[in-house]
């Protein structure tokens, strides 16, 4: 396994890359505190991929089988997914968010920071001290990194995690959403919820092409479940029904206190739960 790559970016950002894990992070604070926080993040980052690979067979098991894991990031993945049972998912649904949460926690353990974020491929862990704020963009299309809205996160908002999922993201989706962005109290929970809400944005239509996940990737944790390969032209009614199904799940998660809000996008239409109305892309 190749070693991690660390690159200093402009704007005070640090880029950490190791295999499929690709992180950009930044903190605000005194110079000594920033150095200590970055050093702590880099030290932890080097351990994450080898540890998760060692536990991968267990992390690919459905949550219904109560997979037992040891590494702190793996435990975060399992803990984030547990509240969503009995809906099918594996701990892999929370991997990016859990990595972001773990690195941010390590940064804050090492030094006091006024603000910080860890962005793992679009799944973001946030820290905002009282009196501070962070502005985040909301993605209309993760593949193009197109933004259709912005949100200001404050200490009082309770938002500490943001995640986006959908059929145009990095992972397979059981649904047809272009993108589902979820706000939660941590990134791992937002990651798992975004996956499940995106799966629920679905409708039976001849315009939707599907294939078994294992036929596209033999190592997929989704096995023989049908994932979306392509979506053609949907009728307005089909789009509305698909978004309504996803919104119902998002509202159920919000009522249960699992998420703070969500924005769902499909074919130029937008639905929101617990958020201001967003413009259509």
ω into 86 cis (within 30 of 0): yes
Average confidence score pLDDT of the chain: 91
Q: Residue 52, Cβ neighbours under 10 Å: how many?
A: 23
pLDDT of residue 279: 42
Residue 27 makes CB contacts below 8 A (sequence gap 6+) with 12, 33, 34, 37, 38, 107, 111, 113, 115, 116
Instruction: Give the side-chain half-sphere CA count within 13 A for 3.
Output: 4
pLDDT confidence bin for 149, thresholds 50/70/90: low
Q: Is 172 exposed, middle or buried (0-12, 13-18, 19+ CB in 10 A)?
A: buried
Assign 151 a pLDDT band (cuts: 50, 70, 90). Answer: confident
Q: Is residue 211 within 8 Å of residue 229, measured between CB atoms?
A: yes
Confidence tier at 142 by pLDDT (50, 70, 90): very low
Identify which has the larger pLDDT, 7 or 148: 7
* pTM of the complete model: 0.91
Domains and CATH numbers, the chain: 5-273 (3.10.520.10)
Residue 10: count of CB within 10 angstroms of its CB:
5
The pLDDT tens digits of the residues spanning 100-131 come to: 999 999 999 999 999 999 999 989 999 999 99
User: Which whole-number Å values give the CA distances from 123 to 23, 57, 93, 94, 259, in the listed order?
Assistant: 9, 23, 11, 9, 14
Of 1-5, 57-61, 68-72, least confident by mean pLDDT is 1-5
Residue range 39-56: mean pLDDT, rounded = 96
pLDDT at 281: 39
Q: What is the pLDDT of residue 80?
A: 97
pLDDT at 75 over 50: yes
pLDDT at 24 over 80: yes
């Amino acid at each position: 396994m190749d070693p991690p790559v660390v690159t200093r970016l402009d704007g005070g950002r640090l880029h950490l890359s190791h295999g499929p894990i690709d992180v950009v992070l930044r903190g605000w604070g005194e110079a000594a505190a920033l150095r200590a926080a970055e050093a702590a993040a880099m030290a932890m980052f080097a351990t994450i991929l080898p540890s998760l690979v060692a536990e991968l067979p267990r992390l690919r098991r459905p949550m219904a089988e109560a997979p037992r894991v040891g590494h702190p990031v793996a435990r975060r993945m399992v803990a984030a997914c547990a509240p969503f049972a009995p809906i099918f998912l594996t701990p892999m649904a929370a991997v990016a968010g859990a990595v972001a949460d773990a690195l941010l926690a390590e940064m804050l353990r090492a030094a006091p920071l006024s603000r910080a974020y860890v962005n793992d491929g679009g799944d973001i862990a946030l820290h905002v001290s009282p009196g501070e704020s962070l502005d985040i963009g909301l993605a209309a299309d993760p593949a193009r990194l197109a933004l259709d809205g912005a949100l200001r996160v404050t200490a009082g908002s309770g938002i500490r995690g943001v995640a986006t999922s959908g059929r145009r993201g990095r992972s397979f989706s059981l649904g047809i959403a272009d993108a589902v962005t979820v706000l939660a109290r941590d990134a791992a929970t937002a990651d798992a919820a975004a996956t499940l809400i995106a799966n629920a944005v679905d409708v039976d239509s001849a315009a939707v092409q599907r294939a078994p996940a294992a036929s596209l990737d033999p190592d997929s944790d989704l096995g023989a479940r049908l994932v979306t390969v392509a979506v053609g032209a949907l009728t307005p009614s089909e789009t509305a029904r698909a978004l309504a199904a996803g919104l119902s799940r998002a509202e159920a998660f919000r009522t249960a206190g699992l998420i703070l809000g969500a924005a769902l996008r499909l074919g130029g239409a937008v639905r929101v739960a617990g958020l201001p109305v967003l413009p259509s892309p």
